[in-house]
Amino acid sequence: MAFLRFSRDKRGVENFYLEQPTTSRRGKVRPRVLYWFRSPPDMKVGREPFDPDVRRALEAQNPDVTFDWRAIAETPIPSADADKWRDRRRAERAAKHAAAEEESAEAANGEADVSADAAAAAAVTVTASAVVMPSGVAQPAPDAPNGGDATRKRRRRRRGDGGGASNAPAANASAAPDPAITEPSGD
């Protein structure tokens, strides 16, 4: 007994498959495609998928298959509007991500409140270029370009030179010799 399978791709192209279930040597039942009709979306002009000429040709080529043309013609074809499930799924996924980000932001705000209280208790004054500690010694701000927090993880580049050792200041090259240390003379 042949049956109709219908599908519509993301561009709206409609595919009608007339299939017959067949059994393989291993006992698996798989469909065998007897006829395939492809049509552009919402096509109002042209022939029907199963016109009388096609029906006669299919019956002649497959004499051992029974065709119930009335049941095949009355098979309900889903409307194109029913394929909006992708948009609905994307909207649900976006809502889940927004809720997760909001929860993480709330958790970060809670941690920031605790760290802000600790910073206020330490009475550290922050300016745009430096952090002034209570002792009066200016230190570079953590987000200053050449300063930085020593505990902050350094980012690495994926490609290219990456700046490596050539961009890092040499420790010995910039250090001036100490005038208090004198080398012994070889007199």
pLDDT tens digits for range 72-125: 888 888 777 655 667 788 889 999 999 999 988 888 877 666 555 555 555 444
Which pLDDT value is given to residue 2? Answer: 86
Q: Residue 156 pLDDT more than 80?
A: no
Domain ranges of the chain: 3-78, 79-142
Does 10 have pLDDT greater than 60? yes
Residue 3 has pLDDT above 60, yes or no: yes
Q: Which pLDDT value is given to residue 162?
A: 57
If you average pLDDT over residues 47-57, what whole number do you get?
89
The confidence score (pLDDT) of residue 128 equals 44
pTM for this structure? Answer: 0.42
Task: Calculate what percentage of the chain has a pLDDT beyond 90.
Answer: 10
d(CA 130, CA 128): 6
Average pLDDT of span 17-34:
89
pLDDT > 80? residue 159: no
Q: Which of the pair, 91 or 135, is modelled with greater confidence?
A: 91
For the cut 70, the answer to whether the pLDDT of residue 145 exceeds it is no
Q: CA 15, CA 19: separation in Å to the nearest integer?
A: 12
